[in-house]
Structure 1
Amino acid sequence: MMRIDAHQHFWTLSRGDYGWLTPELDAIYRDFAPSDLTPLIAKAGIDATVLVQAAPSIAETEFLLSLADLNTFIKGVVGWMDFEHPDAPATIQSLAKHPALIGLRPMIQDIADPDWMLRDDLAPAFKALIAQDLTLDALTLPQHLPRLRRLLERHQDMCVVIDHGSKPAIRDGSFSEWARDIAALASETSAYCKLSGLVTEAAPDWTPDALKPYVDHLLRSFGPERLIWGSDWPVCTLACSYARWVETTDALIADLSTSERAAILGGNALRAYRLRG
């Protein structure tokens, strides 16, 4: 079984394009490089990773692609570009020439207009994404799920991976509306969803039992064939260590068959991002 961490980040603060990353986030307000992650994935038995953007700039995407060139454990990069720009299709075509680019992620959760993704002027960018065989990583909140379902009705050939289960408000105990909308999206589209980022949506004293209803619902909705494991490292360290997240998720999916666990822990990432095994 090949284990893939399908959602991790690196950043260098001096680049200056991480607007969300402030000194208040003390535990992660420093540089994170491949040398920080390699011992963690070695100990956890992780074979490869997907490196995901954390800044809304093409410069950061190019920085991440350069890291992929130097580190063979990085199987692919999910980058960023301005979907609103008139030259978006040409930019997507240019970025896609790099073999490590496997997807793009507009930071939808940070965009004020919840209907942003449905704007008509973004259609050329989505069509270019499809034409270049790239995956859309959907960094959404629960309020975006009905909009995302409508977007996928328009672009049924677009491969989409929802980040972090669309960030349910676990610490507040919110469940029913998120559960309804995630189930509807899963049943009506072919989207994948990442089993990642849940610990930072939970209370500081979270336990596996607090996460279990959400993980179980994601499993019921997407099935083991469309759920993708990721760490969201180093963001996850605001709530737990890399090792604890690995142990927690392994325990939460322990009752699945060997083939089902293998799909969630690596096989589905290979399919969703068209990665080489």
Structure 2
Amino acid sequence: MRIDAHQHFWQYNSAEYDWIDEQMSLLRRDFLPADLQPLLHENNINGCVAVQARQSLEETRWLLSLAQQHKQILGVVGWIDLTSGQLQSQLSSLQGNPWLKGFRHVLQGEAELEFMLQPAFIRGIECLAEQGYSYDILVHAGQLPQVCKLVQKLPKMQLVIDHIAKPNIAGGQWQGWAEHMLELGQYQHLYCKVSGLVTEANWKRWSAGDIEPYLAHVLQVFGAERLMFGSDWPVCHVAASYSESLALVEQFISRECPEQLAAVMGGNAAEFYVLNP
């Protein structure tokens, strides 16, 4: 089964999606399941995981309603306020929904590096683990020292790093990112999404050669058994088509470890998120 482990839907408005700046203006429109379905079909992708793009409980419920209506959505990674005193009751209101697989907070947008290490935030993630949910770690490379501490504190949690932790590929960032990813690779409960790669490279002039050293590093430190492909559609469109984003990963894995291709392109996501076809 081939699965896109990371994509988004939205009904665009400038207030809720203010991160879509002028450079990304082509994303200033609605992107819905009907837009994605032909791309999945063309690329022989059986289903996808819809990931939150707004930090609200309303976003989580909206994505779950889309999943109920569109069979290609196999799972949802929603948002919930992990530091709220109402966390348990909010989780209870969502309990039993078969499409809800995990949660994500936009840590890359937090100005305070230690935000993710505050006791209330960690307790919130532990609550997710108790309910059987996973957690997606969305950070930039500069936050990796804190991520190392966070992962160490959550040994029983199913965790995945989004977008290989967003190294600045266009600027050639390597030192620091590579060492911290090596450290993180030792934690067997931590997976890594090979997603969002083209948007960290030069949008107009990227090549596979620019990105493959980063792919090679995460393959080495996590192993193919803990990598999962994600398109990051529609955000990928600022730099590449859906097919180009997929081919970048698929061709690399086909060349380096063809026996693990099915796992990276879907099997690992199905196992991590407990997805049913």
Deviates more, 1:18-27 or 1:76-85: 18-27
Q: Secondary structure at the match of 2:49?
A: strand
For residue 193 of structure 2, what is the aligned residue in structure 1?
A: 194
For residue 166 of structure 1, what is the aligned residue in structure 2?
A: 165
Deviates more, 1:183-192 or 1:91-100: 91-100
> 1:276: how far off?
1.9
**TM-score (norm: length of structure 2):** 0.95
* 2:148 pairs with 1:149: yes
* 2:80 pairs with 1:85: no
Residue identity in the other structure for 1:88: L
Residue identity in the other structure for 1:97: G
Q: Secondary structure at the match of 2:209?
A: helix
| CA separation of 1:19 and 1:97: change in aligned 2, threshold 3 A | farther
For residue 274 of structure 1, what is the aligned residue in structure 2?
A: 274
In 1, Cα distance between the equivalents of 2:92 and 2:17? 25
In 1, Cα distance between the equivalents of 2:26 and 2:13? 17
Residue identity in the other structure for 1:219: L
For residue 184 of structure 1, what is the aligned residue in structure 2?
A: 183
Unaligned runs of 5+ in 2: none
Contact conserved, 1:89 with 1:124, CA < 8 A, in 2?
no
Residue identity in the other structure for 2:259: S
For residue 223 of structure 1, what is the aligned residue in structure 2?
A: 223
Deviates more, 1:223-232 or 1:53-62: 53-62
For residue 241 of structure 2, what is the aligned residue in structure 1?
A: 241
In 2, Cα distance between the equivalents of 1:19 and 1:88? 26
For residue 36 of structure 1, what is the aligned residue in structure 2?
A: 35
In 1, Cα distance between the equivalents of 2:267 and 2:14? 34
For residue 206 of structure 2, what is the aligned residue in structure 1?
A: 206
Deviates more, 1:255-264 or 1:133-142: 255-264
* 2:68 pairs with 1:69: yes
In 1, Cα distance between the equivalents of 2:22 and 2:67? 27
- List per-residue Cα deviations over 1:111-153 (Å, max 9, x = no partner): 1111111101223311210011111000011122221221222
Residue identity in the other structure for 1:229: F
In 1, Cα distance between the equivalents of 2:218 and 2:109? 23
Contact conserved, 1:17 with 1:56, CA < 8 A, in 2?
no
In 2, Cα distance between the equivalents of 1:188 and 1:163? 16
Deviates more, 1:142-151 or 1:106-115: 142-151
1:68-147 aligned at under 5 Å gives the runs 68-147=67-146
The percentage of counterpart residues that share the same residue type is: 39
In 1, Cα distance between the equivalents of 2:50 and 2:265? 16
Deviates more, 1:217-226 or 1:254-263: 254-263
Unaligned runs of 5+ in 1: none
Instruction: Report the number of matched residues.
Output: 276
> 1:272: how far off?
1.1
Contact conserved, 1:224 with 1:260, CA < 8 A, in 2?
yes
Contact conserved, 1:162 with 1:194, CA < 8 A, in 2?
yes
**TM-score (norm: length of structure 1):** 0.95
Residue identity in the other structure for 1:41: L
